[in-house]
Structure 1
């Protein structure tokens, strides 16, 4: 790229949000293509059913080709405004000739017309989709004030901010910063001891020591696994109508173990895709392949076996594409992908990698789907020590991937995607627009796994670092985590994304190192407070002149309550558990077979981390789904973000939160040496990670007094029987604790 040509970063910076000033140099990817996609593709795009005048604007050869009955006109002639029909039609005042046509209800703004016109005038330079071009290592931008940058990430961010006339925000307070990084790296809040230690440590390395401690903790692996369970569509039941129980939790134990020992990302993925095909595969590597058996399986009588077997292969295909490539490859199941260069033939070539398993579409009620492996205490003692199997269980059978050498299933394109309509046979292949699957790769899942991590693959590293960025900032550099294709969002910081992707690969796919790099950046350490200028210039915080204010996940909200109240049982791994849940939910949605009644656990199992909550696909944990947890029916790489009245009702009435409120209140009341003011301060600090100010403290003191005075033993939902403490005291402080749990500040990470 010449020094005079603006970079992708500069294009995005100058025009990603502001749509008023036309850029000096028009870029096809960032300026033109979004307009064509939104305003023109309906009639002149990939859909043959709606295409008009034989004109396609999504393919270069068609867009620049001759059109009209006599092929004597062109929509676009580079540099020729007078004879380019596109320019003539979009600027035509005649309502019969203007494009888009009036009846389409689509219009171009003056800004958009100027962009398209200027693009043609400047030569109509066409570029391939950015995500399908392998990343190249960009130069780290130089900035005027190096004191603002802790590492290279900040150079990219500050360079963009300066182009928009913005500057980074001040650093977050130590209380806010430690709360944020604890939740991001462990999913749990800091304790008062953690807070005090950090506040008292005035050394330059104080924050770095906290980050290192969190990355070395077992809670880190649990936090990372919580994200991966959505991607892997993990559940404890088979799904479909009968939805009976399955055993997959040993695979979950492996994921926790893999993250905690910092297994390089390339190995983490290769083991899950093809651990069974590795030379002299270990039992651990075979356990890892449970990833590809997390899909739903039917046990219903009367189903067509092949129909459902095909669905399982489809699931594995689509999950792998979404999780590792960020592509909607499933769109090519029934026809060539309308927006991305993926044909049906390529889809089924990709599908063929997962089509070689000897498996049944329908299994019996007591049947364990094959292939599977038996895990006993002996295997655990010898090589699988990371699996936490209780003494009460003698053995478990885990579904895994295993191919027979003497078995080879042919793969055919399925007409309209239907199992009983096979057409032409296809071989193992991948989308050529990404990277051709050549003879240098083995023709199996291991070959596919190696294809993913070929340096020339344009997407694997980008998608991986984008997921880590989303974990730390709430939104990825590419906001559409599930779609890096033509219809997805453009990267907000394309050069930074490529730098991170290449650095991740060159660092040996070291996930902990990458997360530390992000956490140590000044960009991450900024306050999340906004200003009137930022609200006007960058309301969605695309430029990152501040940190993002993000709500805690469903798991974190519950785990926060358990942790600060002292109820949390910090036991790693093992079978899933059944905490509190409203009565009767399972019975309402069952066919009468198997799991018809939910029986909550007792003892420590009631208070395990939410990561271990038993997941029934047809009735997921209701409190968690209320807070946007994924259903786990299929691969989810990005949860919805909602704020609803139901969430407020859960916070006020969930038995787990009521119990946590009461437990924390009683703990404070048992400390007879404390005043009410000190108790309130301690509760507030535990839940929000900061001290209340004088106004907040006065309001809470008044609330406590009113609550105690209004105590009615007949209507109280809180258990107040304690021979050492007056019931109105328990009720008052429990109600106050519940109030603090319901503060908006209590359910955000920063």
Structure 2
């Protein structure tokens, strides 16, 4: 219930009024409904969420679990008896049950742990009294473009301002220019504005920071824009102002930046569950990075989203498919691969097919398909047959589920001459050392001439060693057998152990070279299609007799009559103008990336259990605009960032905290902590260390020792890269699936599809941002630049602050920094040498170590300011 002050603000009576008992039902009804719905109850918005949350579990789509032969998710079934009698609420069994005080009759039952509020009961009663008008779930209705409300020039602002007016909430003023430009740069390219273009790094010419020029993360115009006092004084952006023209020019500059694709590829890699290894025990490497680079290139080229979709779901099925189109189909091979010992190949293959169904359902349809592999959905009108209708279309690739390779067929060879040469040399090295081992074993394990080792003492060794040694020639021994043999003979035969260790090292290099030969797993289609049967409870080895063929969920528009019955037909159905979900789901994710929360909060679920959007008309308008613009992603983002809604200050107000704490009405700009990958990129960019190279194999920057070894029982060793590779964007960091990059937090595991970022707030994050090698090194290099520039402490403090925050410091902030600097100088005197050795970039020997260390600490402190860690 709202407090009296809020009720009075909304034009309602104070709860202390003597008329309250008489007005209580109406008051409760009004509280249960959005302000926009006071005049009419909307089934999809107001009624269905109540039924879905409290009734569908027992009386919903799942026929096997339905109780009392009562169905409330279907209008015909719900109104067939006396359950719902339109216009006769008091005679309707539904109303009798929900108002009952008898624990044997009341619904929901006490055992269900569900309970209707008084407001919800009154709303259901009012709905039936008014005729129980039914409706289709809002997300399953065809997308139609709503009329834009009057009152604002920009369509987004028109919708938002209309809702704010209904709620009697005032929009926030425009953000100050420095904040706005930083926000824009971080949103569009994932990097902060780099205004410090004149300070160059001094020191060794071979330093990584010398050979890698920092990227232009924001254009030269942004610097001028930030200094435009007339713009800063303007509370709103107006299309008629010069400032607005500058802002729009800045938007275009960032949209055309090569770093645009890198920023927006990240979200897609999370959704696509991209990684550089298979996962599970052993976690073999894979070489899917050419697919990752294709995504960056496609996003930079502003490939229409419908084409982007078709290529990834069915690029190999396009007429005369190109290498690029086949490469794009690697989307469906990004799943984990379970190659553990004793694993049944068909089980792995079936799970991979299921992963494709569920990923496709989440990414493009926003549906929780995983429920239906075992039974009909309990809430949405999705059946088990619907699931296996989609399963069938992904069940026709030649993948067999065998082995543990990260390059399992079908795969496309994209190897380079250098990779092939490395593999050839590694094979030769193994053969050479294997011959030496073979010769040694002829003497160590004597046997009759011409007889195998099985007739020697090697066959009497304990454990698995007879199979590893007596039954396997040296060149065919793998890493695991050799590890066991080395451990056994370590204290028994040092000479033999040394040979086995050399063979182990050579076999590791052979395996590494082989897996590093670039082969990208892609999709294909069997010449003879598999039959698909519904699986009992999703068990791969328990097919039922019900045979199914490809079809789309029956609750959604059907396939076109002339559609091909394959993945290409599925892809074309997904991007059809009649599909009610794809554009809504996609637009919502872009909005979520910009504002921190989608117009639909449940970005992964657009079913009846998902949230009904506050700004439903805005979502539909954007979805229609997205499709009718030719699925133009840059056009969509341009629309969002040029709106006044986006450009508002993110300042939290008292009114906002009371009326809209989560900013769902959009009365202020977005504000939330930057994702950890963006924090790392920001530190590298601000220091000038960032290597702006696009694409290529994944890199291995700084990482604490022993992490991989601990997670893989010593079978995988992390070998750090050096030079420019240390300073690549986080997008290119090697991602081992069972233990992701150690410098990241709140990130996806990349084990399954993830379209909603986790955002927590814990002091443990500072262990990374204050102590990780990359952050300390970035602070050290930035401090060197500050000290190498002319000026006194005051000027240097201003420069350091403005470089890192993208704004000039306030006088009181400078006072704080000036007081802190002497303390840092005193603290750094003893630890200077150690601090200046952090990272590979060499420190300038011309600078006094203690002074350099003090400014390093100061820059690191600034990198950890709340406003630097946050998108304001």
TM-score greater than 0.5 by the shorter chain: yes
| CA distance in structure 2 between the aligned counterparts of 1:477 and 1:368, rounded to whole angstroms | 39
1:84 aligned residue (92, 96, 114):
92
CA 1:630–1:237 in 2, change beyond 3 Å: closer, same or farther?
Answer: same
Question: Partner of 1:416: helix, strand, or coil?
Answer: helix
The farther-off stretch of 684-693 and 231-240 is 684-693
* Matched residue count: 707
Corresponding residue of 2:174: 171
* Matched-pair contact (CA < 8 Å) for 1:22–1:114: no
Q: Determine if the alignment matches structure 1 residue 75 to structure 2 residue 193.
A: no
What are the equivalent positions in structure 2 for 1:231-630 lying under 5 Å apart?
Answer: 231-364=271-404, 368-376=407-415, 396-404=518-526, 406-423=527-544, 424-593=546-715, 596-624=716-744, 626=745, 628-630=746-748
Alpha-carbon shift at residue 488 of structure 1 (Å): 0.9
Quote the offset at 1:185 in angstroms: 0.5
Distance 1:353 1:103 in 2: 41
Quote the residue 1:700 is aligned against: 817
Which residue in 1 is equivalent to 2:132? 124
- Alpha carbons 2:36, 2:166 under 8 Å: kept: no
Q: Distance in 2 between matches of 1:512 and 1:356?
A: 35
Instruction: Report the Cα distance in structure 1 between the residues aligned to 2:830 and 2:155, rounded to whole angstroms.
Output: 60
8 Å contact 1:16–1:492 — kept in the other structure? no
- Aligned 8 A contact 2:285 2:515 in 1: no
Unaligned runs of 5+ in 1: 1-13, 67-73, 379-391
Distance, in Å, in 2 between the alignment partners of 1:356 and 1:304 is 19
Contact 2:288 2:521 in 1 (8 A): yes
SS of 1:527's equivalent in the other structure is: coil
Q: Following the alignment from structure 2 to structure 1, what is the Cα–Cα distance between the partners of residues 330 and 67?
A: 48
Distance in 2, Cα, partners of 1:363 & 1:115: 58
C-alpha distance in 2, partners of 1:530/1:714? 41
Query: For structure 2, which runs of at least 5 residues remain unmatched after alignment?
Result: 1-28, 197-219, 232-241, 418-513, 838-842
Q: Secondary structure of 1:205's match?
A: helix
For the aligned residues, what is the CA RMSD? Answer: 2.5
Secondary structure of the residue that 1:373 maps to in structure 2? strand
- Contact 1:300–1:362 (CA under 8 A) maintained in structure 2: no
- The C-alpha deviation readout for 1:307-328, integer Å capped at 9, x for no partner, is 1011111111111111111111
Rounded to whole Å, the distance in 2 between the matches of 1:211 and 1:221 is 15
Cα distance change, pair 92–371 in 1 and its aligned pair in 2 (3 A): closer
Aligned-partner Cα distance in 2 for 1:449–1:16: 43
Cα offsets for 1:5-36 (capped at 9, x unmatched): xxxxxxxxx98987799833222222222222
Q: Name the counterpart of 1:109.
A: 117
Instruction: Give the Cα–Cα distance (whole angstroms) in 2 for the partners of residues 183 and 429 of structure 1.
Output: 41
Q: 2:80 aligns with which of 65, 69, 72?
A: 65
Contact between 2:160 and 2:666, CA under 8 Å: does it hold in 1? yes
1:626-668 deviations in Å (ceiling 9; x for gaps):
2x11000011111111111221221121111111111111111
Determine the structure 1 residue equivalent to 2:778: 660
Contact 1:334 1:415 in 2 (8 A): yes
Local SS of the residue matching 1:141: coil
8 Å Cα contact 2:225-2:246 kept in structure 1: yes
Q: Distance in 2 between matches of 1:47 and 1:357?
A: 31
Distance 1:21 1:457 in 2: 27
Q: CA deviation at 1:53?
A: 4.1
Residue number among 821, 840, 847 corresponding to 1:725 in the alignment: 847
| 2:870 match | 748
- Do the aligned partners of 2:52 and 2:379 also contact (CA within 8 Å) in 1? no
Of residues 134, 150, 162, the one that matches 1:142 is: 150
Instruction: Give how far 1:394 is off.
Output: 10
CA displacement at 1:530 relative to structure 2: 2.1
Q: TM-score, normalised by structure 1?
A: 0.90
Q: What secondary structure sits across from 2:519 in the alignment?
A: strand
Distance in 2 (CA, whole Å) between partners of 1:358 and 1:461 is: 31
CA distance in 2, matches of 1:251, 1:354: 19
Shift in Å, 1:293: 0.9
Q: SS at the partner of 1:32?
A: helix
Report the secondary structure of 2:673's partner residue.
coil
Q: Give the whole-Å Cα distance in 2 for the aligned partners of 1:359 and 1:104.
A: 44
Structure 1's 93 and 680: CA in aligned 2 closer, same or farther, altered over 3 A?
A: same
Kindly provide the CA deviation profile for residues 287-319 of structure 1, in whole angstroms up to 9, marking residues without a partner as x: 111111111123333211111011111111111
**Separation of aligned partners in 2, 1:566 and 1:214:** 19
Between the aligned partners of 2:354 and 2:111, the Cα distance in structure 1 is: 39
1:683-740: CA deviation from partner (whole Å, max 9, x where unpaired): 2222221122111111111111111122342587511775422222122111111111
Change (3 A) 1:680 1:113: same
How far is the alpha carbon of 1:477 from its aligned partner?
Answer: 1.0
Larger mean Cα displacement after TM superposition, 48-57 or 196-205: 48-57
- Contact 1:297–1:362 (CA<8 Å) still a contact in 2? no
Whose helix proportion is higher, 1 or 2? 2
What is the CA distance between 1:375 and its match in structure 2?
2.1
1:28-77 Cα shifts (integer Å, max 9, x gaps): 222222222333345544566875544333332332232xxxxxxx2321
CA distance in 1, matches of 2:831, 2:581: 61
**Pair 436,573 (structure 1): closer, same or farther in 2 beyond 3 Å:** same
Q: Give the match for residue 220 of structure 1.
A: 260
